Amino acid sequence: MELTGTVEDVIYKNESNGYMIATFNMTSADTTIVGYLPFVNKGDSLKIIGKFVTHPDYGDQFKVDTFEKIMPESLDALEKYLANGLIKGVGPATAKKIVKKFGQSTVEVLKNEPEELAKIKGITKDKANEISESFIENWKLWQIVGYLEKFGIGPQSAQTIFKKLGNDTIGKIEQDPYVLEELGIKVDFSQIDKMALQIGIEKNSLRRVGSGIRHALNLSTYNGHCCVLEENLITYVTRLLGVSEDDVISGIKELKSKGQIQDEEREEIATVNGKTEMCLQRWIYLMDYYNTELYIARRILSLEQADNLKKIPNIEKEIKKVSSIELSDKQREAITLINENNVSIITGGPGTGKTTIIKTIIDLYKSKGKKTVLCAPTGRAAKRMTEATGEEAKTLHRLLEIGKFTEEKPNPDMDVAPIDADVIIMDEVSMVDIFLMNYVLKAIFKGTKLILVGDIDQLPSVGPGSVLKDFIESKKIPYITLNKIFRQAAKSKIIVNAHKVNDGIEFLDEVSSNEDTIDDFDFIQENNPKKVQEMILDIYDKDTQIITPTKKGDLGTKTLNQLIQEKYNPYEDYKTEKKFGDIIFREGDKVMQTKNNYDITWVRGTEISSGIFNGEMGIITEIDAREGRIKIQFDDDKIAIYENADLEQLEHSYAITVHKSQGSEFKEVILPIVQAAPMLLTRNLLYTGMTRAKNRLIILGNKQTINFMINNVNTKKRNTGLKYKLENM
């Protein structure tokens, strides 16, 4: 059955997959529609195909199978469409002005006569062109989103596909569905494959097999791997496609001949037929991942082996001149290591003196008139570094002036700004993946001293690779491990217990009788998740950060954020709020940016720039209900305005995952641990969560689960080749 009408009201919308429940207004009557309708908003005119069904609780509904965006027929509907936030530069007030001015000619003006828009007060010529371009692009995008939804491809990926394939996106896909796989984005391969077989692509064709191989390799990178063992790859693809091993081997050869993949033979210790022995193994890479590892290995060794132009003579004497505190033997050894080498690594847990070393290095090179640059992977890590040293630290993105690239498929050849420095100190290196390290090394001049600082026992990077671990294990980069907890730090139960956990020892939760000990750590035993929720609500205040292993469940971020918002930032008449899907953003809410966004403009005093990055946190200070805009003040005092289209990149941050907390430090942390997926219950996740607390840590939960985490060192090993490449150069 086919219906035509307008979305009158959105009752529910899941922004991640586009599922919607809405009131649908037709000429004769209203009905409730349900289905996957990505990018559909209040005011949109649609042609929908589906059938009426009866829900046991909600009665008659129209279940949408497919939809098509159509031009709104009435001026009222057109105004609602323009005001929905997807057209850049147009909010409800501007939409009303445009429709009032041009009436039935509105669409023609938007498409073909943008200069006419500039006749409206408040719309400049540049803004008029921007509105027109956004209108045309969104119109084309609508058709593509509706088409791609049947392949299980979400709206964000649809946008990426449209940008890459252009106006003839649908035609290109219908001619060769596997073009979607080549884009390197997360797609439902089974749907693509089904369509390809339907249009006549042979089951064992090299085109199909090659796409299956690339899909398998891409899938592995989403889990942090850089490569896949050839025999495992062959087994997976034969099952995926229902072809022979010979077909897959032929596909591997074909892709290799085209320069799309690369193999690497390594002599490694492996278990074969129950026996551990040295054997030759072949690893398969997507070409970008192989080349990136290769570049990192060559470049880091080249930098390390260059002439040491920044070496300071009589280093012990110079240390005494600039340092007012007595350094430990290990700290002096670390500074000597840095002085003797162009590239060096300082690793260790909290309280082991890393900050003191950094401060001393800064003072040493300042005294010699040398320029030192401090940097970190995230805004919060950079801010933390600034507070600890008193010197400005920049994010790597800002330092490198990294331009736009799709997160789905980073471009290793992307240009970056060279770093003008004699000494570069990079903190939280465990968070750096192979692509970010690649960009850093591209930007460094030979002769520049590079100091890498991090904690190897924390969680690995979200992106592919184990850069810090591979550097250290290769033994090709000079490093030192700090393991002594300094006297001042040893007073903190947070630090002492974090080190106990890292050493596989159960933490101490009793109150200390030692007067020197700071009782900044509490453990409260509770096995019931609902009671833990109640405890969190009682303990929480504005200086508290909840950090949890998981997004889902009673103690996941989604549930906890809703509960905290309801109690601590409830609805008030004087607070403006904005509903976005199933999320309500309210003035005063704590929020976090969840993806890199290079377009958002921000202001900080007289400074104006752009780019808000994954993990940055702030407070909603103002919501413009009329235009649908949200103003956010971030922790580093940047102020940014979010349009409707940007809101899917925001989430509440009263509670965040341990992964999202990496590189950050908070005054007070509540860490609830009762239950979670087994893959999350690891020692390094517990250790990472504990070390985020500065002044107070409260762990709520199940001692049995926590002890399981302490003993679980079976973290998923990442398949990388950086260590091997370094060892064999």
H/E stretch holding 483: none
Report how far residue 242's alpha carbon sits from residue 194's, in angstroms, rounded to the nearest whole number: 13
Mean pLDDT of the chain: 88
Tell me what pLDDT residue 512 has: 54
CA–CA dist 418, 402 (Å, integer): 11
Beta carbons of 615 and 663 less than 8 angstroms apart: yes
pLDDT at residue 301 above 90?
Answer: yes
Mean pLDDT of 611-615: 83
**Distance between alpha carbon 675 and the CA centroid of its chain, in Å?**
24
Say if residue 457's pLDDT is above 70.
Answer: yes
Cite the DSSP H helix spans in 579-692. 658-661, 683-690
> 547: number of CA atoms within 13 Å, CB side?
27
Model confidence at 184: pLDDT above 60: yes
**Predicted pLDDT of residue 121:** 86
pTM, two decimal places: 0.79
pLDDT at 437: 96
What ranges in 487-613 are assigned the alpha helix state H?
487-490, 493-502, 529-539, 557-568
Q: What is the token pair recorded at 551?
A: 């997004």
Exposure class string for 121-133: b at 16+ Cβ within 10 A, else e: eebeeebbebbbe
Structure letter (DSSP) for residue 518: B
Identify the weakest region by mean pLDDT among 75-84, 355-364, 422-431, 571-580: 75-84
At 592 the pLDDT is 95
CB atoms near residue 200 (< 10 Å): 7
pLDDT band at 408 (very low <50, low <70, confident <90, very high): low
Instruction: Please report how many Cα atoms fall inside a 13 Å half-sphere around the Cα of residue 115, on the Cβ side.
Output: 0
d(CA 589, CA 591): 6
**261 contacts 209 by C-beta, under 8 angstroms:** no
What is the distance between the alpha carbons of residues 321 and 532, in angstroms, rounded to a whole number? 53
pLDDT of residue 397: 86
With vertex at residue 380, the alpha carbon angle to CA 468 and CA 558, rounded to the nearest 5 degrees, is: 100
Place of tokens 């072949």: 282
Q: What does DSSP say about strands 597-604 and 544-548: parallel, antiparallel, or unpaired?
A: unpaired
Cα 2 to the center of its chain, rounded Å: 40
Separation of alpha carbons 691 and 686, rounded Å: 9
List the alpha helices (DSSP H) in 390-421.
Answer: 396-400
The amino acid sitting at 134 is: S
pLDDT of res. 16? 58
* Cα–Cα distance for residue pair 695/624, rounded to 1 Å: 37
| pLDDT tens-place string over residues 99-143 | 899 988 888 888 889 899 989 988 888 889 988 888 887 777 767
**pLDDT per residue over 458-511, tens digit each?**
988 888 999 999 999 999 999 999 988 886 777 889 999 999 999 999 887 665
Under DSSP, the state recorded for 462 is: S
pLDDT at 249: 97
Tens of pLDDT along 669-699? 999 999 878 788 899 999 999 999 999 999 9
* Between residues 154 and 449, the one the model is more confident about: 449
